[in-house]
Amino acid sequence: MGELQQRTTLWLLRKAGGILAILAIILGTAGVWSYLRDAVDIEGKRQEVMQVLTGERHRLMEAKARVEERKAAEQRELGQQQQRVAIATRGIRTIDELESPWQRWFGGGDKGGLGARRADLAKLRSAAELRAKELGENLKIEDYTLEGLDVAMGKVDRRMGLLQSTEPIVVRYAKSAWIKTRAYVITALAAWLLGPLLGKLLLYFVVAPPVSRGRPIRFSDKPATGVRVSASNAALDVGLREGELLRVKETFLQASDEGLLKRMRWIFDWRIPFASWACGLVELVELGNPAGSGGDCRVTVASSENSSTEFSLVEVPEGDSLIVRPWFIAGVVLAQGTRLRIRRRWVFGRWQAWMTMQFRFFEFEGPCRLVLAGSRGIRVETLALPADRISGRDPARRANQQAIIGFTPGLEYRPVRAETFWAYYRGMNPLFDELFVGQGLFLCQASAGGRVQSGSRFWQFVWRGLRRAVGL
């Protein structure tokens, strides 16, 4: 249960990481594009607006200063006019006190010209009062003007404040990118989250069933009964009889008897140069036990780089053959002066081959002995007819597609759908297993993931698919 929870947690974390990565890529790309398109002139426009607002504010301040100066002058003049009114009023009161009641009511001689003086003061007071009233009206207008200027300056100050305190450009462009691309983001996320599930559902329940029911591939009607396979071991002793030679990968050569003739073999077989290079069957060591040497010799094959690799010796007698993926070949034992017989089988005409992307098979004909390498051992699966065939059906056995090393050509071979959808969806099993029916044997390594190229999982998947397509 703990392992299941751990796998589930890791799966959820990978999905969350993928969502964040998709968001970052889409929003970042859109934001960068908007920034590159707009950032060239956006700051210039901002500076232009700031200059216009600064000039407007300066003009408003100058206008306000002029109004305040005019208001101060009018207030001073108003004070002067009010003072004149007061002086004129006191003079008139004094003249009135100097006149006798008889003169005020019945008239009489104007001694000292008081009447004329009083008329002048009355005229002066009237003019001062009129001017004071005008100044009072002007001061009200100035107050309204100053209030309007303050409102205008407030608007300018707010606009300048907004320009100076705008949000960071990253946030602004992120918001803009989200508004412009949110539909694409949601679509991409839905495709990323649901696409693999829908695709695997389609492949498993729609595509795989008719492929599994297709006619099997069979390369020979003759069952190969003479093929012998030794038990696998981390170190394999290969015996060389007189007149035999061994071609083996140099990295697998651990020890050999003295007296063997050694030379460099640049490529496994010049008829399949690409396959030899792709499988690492280059720069081989050829060890020969010459005729007349006086006995058999022994060569030890083992892996010094991967302790999980085990080896097995497969003997293919004259008249028999074995379908083998060259990727698993570590060496071959031949009679000196003979040539390894390899037949390439193409199956372009079978639609199962197009569905499984496997178009070529290599058939190695006897007599020869093949040194095969597999991860954590090589298992031999033998299919033989039972003594009492009551059921009337041929023996059949399925195996993991990635673990298959080889099989005898008399077996019927076809891909069949993985047993459970969950195992396929979680990547624990490929879409198709291999089903073998009839009499014969097939070889498979104990661990399907033992001999894969280094690198990321994606490139491992691509490389494995290419190898499978050309039968390696």
pLDDT at 1 over 50: no
How far apart CA 330 and CA 372 sit, in angstroms, is 5
pLDDT of residue 270: 84
Average pLDDT taken over every residue of the chain: 80
**436 within 8 A of 406, measured Cβ to Cβ:** no
Query: Mean of the pLDDT values across residues 396-421?
Result: 86
The per-residue pLDDT for 279 is: 84
Q: In angstroms, how far is CA 1 from the centroid of its own chain?
A: 30
Q: Across the strands, what pairs with 415?
A: 434
Kindly tell me the burial class for residue 153, based on how many C-beta atoms sit within 10 Å of its own C-beta (0-12, 13-18, 19 or more): middle
For residue 275, the model assigns a pLDDT of 83
Task: Tell me how far apart the alpha carbons of residues 380 and 446 are, in angstroms, rounded to a whole number.
Answer: 10
pLDDT per residue over 63-113, tens digit each?
888 888 888 888 888 888 888 888 888 888 888 777 656 555 555 555 556
Question: What digits encode the pLDDT tens for the residues 24-68?
Answer: 888 877 777 776 666 556 666 777 777 887 888 888 888 888 888
Place of tokens 């007296």: 259
- Confidence class for position 305, pLDDT limits 50, 70, 90: confident
Residue 238 above 60 pLDDT?
Answer: yes
- pLDDT reported for residue 43: 62
Q: What would the DSSP string read from start to end of 175-238?
A: HHHHHHHHHHHHHHHHHHHHHHHHHHHHIIIIIHHHHHTSPPB-S-SS-----EEPPPBSEEEE
- Dihedral angle of Cα 10, 13, 17, 20, to the nearest 10 degrees: 170
Nearest alpha-carbon partner for 317 in 408, 395, 433? 408
Which pairing describes strands 440-445 and 378-383: parallel, antiparallel, or unpaired?
Answer: antiparallel
Inter-residue contact 136 to 129 (CB < 8 Å): no
Instruction: Read off the amino acid at residue 26.
Output: I
Give the pLDDT confidence score for residue 447 in this predicted structure: 79
Q: Which CATH number fits domain 228-469: 3.30.540.10, 3.40.50.300, 3.40.50.2000, 3.60.160.10?
A: 3.60.160.10
Residue 13 token pair: 């974390």
**Backbone angle region of 380, left / alpha / beta, with phi > 0 → left and psi within -120 to 50 → alpha:** beta
Rounded to an integer, the average pLDDT of 296-302 is 89
Which pLDDT does position 33 carry in this prediction? 72
CB burial string 71-93: b at 16+ within 10 A, e below: beebeeebeebbebbeebeebbe
Domain topology for 10-100+112-180:
Helix Hairpins (1.10.287)
CATH 1.10.287 in the chain is located at 10-100+112-180
Looking at residue 372, its pLDDT comes to 92
pTM of the model: 0.60
**Alpha-carbon span 364 to 320, nearest angstrom:** 9
Mean pLDDT confidence for 168-181: 72
Residues 438 and 260: their CA atoms lie apart, in Å, by 42
* Torsion sign over Cα 454, 457, 463, 468: positive
Cis omega (within 30 of 0) on the bond before 415?
A: no
392-405 residue pLDDT tens: 577 888 888 888 89
**More confident of the two residues 241 and 176:** 241
More confident residue, 34 or 264: 264
Domain with CATH 3.60.160.10 in the chain: 228-469
* Closest-CA residue to 268 (of 324, 345, 346, 348): 324
